[in-house]
Amino acid sequence: MSLIVQKYGGTSVGTIERIEAVADKVKGFRDAGHDIVVVVSAMSGETNRLIALAKDITDTPSNREMDVLVSTGEQVTIALLAIALQKRGCDARSYTGAQVKILTDDAYSKARIQDIDNHRMRADLDAGRVVVVAGFQGVDPEGNITTLGRGGSDTTAVALAAALKADECQIYTDVDGVYTTDPRVEPHARRLDKITFEEMLEMASQGSKVLQIRSVEFAGKYKVPLRVLSSFQDGEGTLITLEEDDDMEKPVVSGIAFNRDEAKVTILNIPDHPGIAYRILGPISEANIEVDVIVQNFSEDGSTSLSFTVHRNDMKKAADILAKVAQELGAKSTVTDDRIAKLAIVGVGMRSHAGVAAKMFKALADENINIQMISTSEIKITVVIEEKYLELAVRTLHAAFELEESPRVE
């Protein structure tokens, strides 16, 4: 008998039929003798629907009320799943994040979990009940409802698994594991049996939304055995593992991640001397805007330009801040571009292979795809390109690094 934390995402609980199917699945695990804690997301589309309702009232709803609003989606699914389990004679109880007491900081819409009280869950498990917990939400020290960022139910599940020292955390979704790239963009993508935490962290941070990045960070930190599986079909899924294989055949590139949610902001003709990057990026970070790829261009006549990417939702805010800084620095202007996409190849095999970047750049050049920005780490190479070439670039690199199952038959 083991303790398993299972998370079912939006499409997995998207209709009453799906919720009933999840209840059957959970009951199967109970009948096999396992202790089960289930984390559920809102029904698919619900979180977006709720956000749109608020946006119909104002473009600038308060962060506190947005969290009160969007957290309701998950409250619906926990109750429905508990009812479906009870109908099957499976004792179950549902809890919101605040009821469990998933304590977070007070950063609405991107709160971080600080502590989890596992007493109520333990008592229910000891009494033979299935515990159903709302994903994506918590409560701050003042008792305000908080949420953990889009895709945050993954993080709830991993955090509960860590707090309960579960034997495994299973993330059930609408694909049967982690693929070499998003199978919706590259139908030849291949499911991976295993992927290392390090690689999964890079994949998630570069845009593979199959797992929220914080859930992977959490799993790595607390050594939670983590698996991604399909709620629609049986299978082993993908294990996120701490061990790197000693396999000689280890591929150089394990996967390709991408992100269409970013925008590029550039400030032109800035003086090229110490402290300028800080003058520009300091106010951006003070405004809580996350910056990703940064490029400072070649200096001519003592002046240069600096470009960086931010989330598209933050582009206007960043541009407004830069316009002010530009004025102070006597810089010429700022330029924004939201028709970009970020693309990264990821693989621990890169550590021991040279020429990976050259191969990537050649493959893109052969398709006439211009690279606007480049950034690298030990196990990834990221490029920023024009958004309209994204799908072509993903498929080109997928083929160039031989990630598909078997040679493509055209």
Q: Which of the stretches 103-111, 202-210, 281-289, 397-405 binds ligand ADP when contact is defined by CB under 6 A?
A: 202-210
Distances (CA, A) of 165 to 116, 227, 286, 338: 12, 15, 37, 43
Distances (CA, A) of 53 to 1, 46, 84, 238: 45, 11, 29, 37
Q: In whole angstroms, what separates CA 139 from the centre of its chain?
A: 21
The residue (of 73 and 138) whose beta carbon lies closer to ligand ADP is 73
Residue 240: which of Mg ion, ligand ADP, ligand ASP, none does it interact with, CB under 5 to 8 A by kind?
none
* CB 82 to ligand ADP: min, Å: 20
The mark string for 7-36 relative to Mg ion (x by CB under 5 A, - otherwise) is --x---------------------------
The reply to whether 175 sits near ligand ADP by the rule CB under 6 A is yes
Beta bridge partners of 131: 37, 93
The residue (of 47 and 118) whose beta carbon lies closer to Mg ion is 47
The residue (of 51 and 295) whose beta carbon lies closer to ligand ADP is 51
Ranges within 59-98 binding ligand ADP (CB under 6 A): none
Coil, strand, or helix at residue 355?
coil
Distances (CA, A) of 191 to 140, 197, 230, 240, 247: 38, 16, 12, 13, 18
The residue (of 28 and 45) whose beta carbon lies closer to ligand ADP is 45
The reply to whether 228 sits near ligand ASP by the rule CB under 6 A is no
The residue (of 45 and 128) whose beta carbon lies closer to ligand ASP is 45
Ranges within 123-142 binding ligand ASP (CB under 6 A): 135-136
Residues 209, 214, 216, 217, CA torsion sign: positive
The reply to whether 49 sits near ligand ADP by the rule CB under 6 A is no
CA angle (320, 326, 329) in 5-degree steps: 150
How many CA atoms, within 13 angstroms, populate the side-chain half-sphere of residue 385? 24
The mark string for 228-267 relative to ligand ADP (x by CB under 6 A, - otherwise) is ---------------------------x------------
> Of these, 20, 105, 106, 174, which contacts ligand ADP (CB under 6 A)?
174
The reply to whether 151 sits near Mg ion by the rule CB under 5 A is yes
Residue 77: which of Mg ion, ligand ASP, ligand ADP, none does it interact with, CB under 5 to 8 A by kind?
none
Please, is 258 exposed, middle or buried when counting C-beta atoms within 10 Å of its C-beta (0-12, 13-18, 19+)?
Answer: buried
> Of these, 29, 95, 136, 179, which contacts ligand ADP (CB under 6 A)?
179
The reply to whether 209 sits near ligand ASP by the rule CB under 6 A is no
Among all chains, which residue has been given the structure tokens 């049986």?
234
Q: In whole angstroms, what separates CA 384 from the centre of its chain?
A: 19
Q: Output the six-digit token pair for 39.
A: 């984390």
What is the rounded CA–CA span in Å between residue 322 and residue 135?
37
**First-last CA distance in the chain:** 49
> Of these, 6, 11, 12, 47, which contacts ligand ASP (CB under 6 A)?
47
DSSP letters, 14-62, are: SSHHHHHHHHHHHHHHHHTT-EEEEEE-PPTTHHHHHHHHHHHH-SS--
Residue 347: which of ligand ASP, ligand ADP, Mg ion, none does it interact with, CB under 5 to 8 A by kind?
none
The reply to whether 147 sits near ligand ADP by the rule CB under 6 A is no
**Of all residues in this chain, which one has the CB nearest to Mg ion in the complex?**
151
> Of these, 14, 138, 152, 255, which contacts ligand ASP (CB under 6 A)?
152
Ranges within 65-124 binding ligand ASP (CB under 6 A): 73
What is the rounded CA–CA span in Å between residue 201 and residue 112?
17
Q: In whole angstroms, what separates CA 270 from the centre of its chain?
A: 35
> Of these, 120, 122, 150, 316, which contacts ligand ASP (CB under 6 A)?
150
Angle between helices 315-329 and 276-286 (to 10 degrees): 140
The residue (of 50 and 399) whose beta carbon lies closer to ligand ASP is 50
The H or E element containing residue 67 is helix 63-70
> Of these, 41, 146, 215, 238, which contacts ligand ASP (CB under 6 A)?
41
Residues found near ligand ADP in the complex (CB under 6 A): 9-12, 41, 151, 173-175, 178-179, 181-182, 184, 208-210, 255
Residues found near ligand ASP in the complex (CB under 6 A): 9-10, 41-42, 47, 73, 135-136, 150-153
Residues found near Mg ion in the complex (CB under 5 A): 9, 151
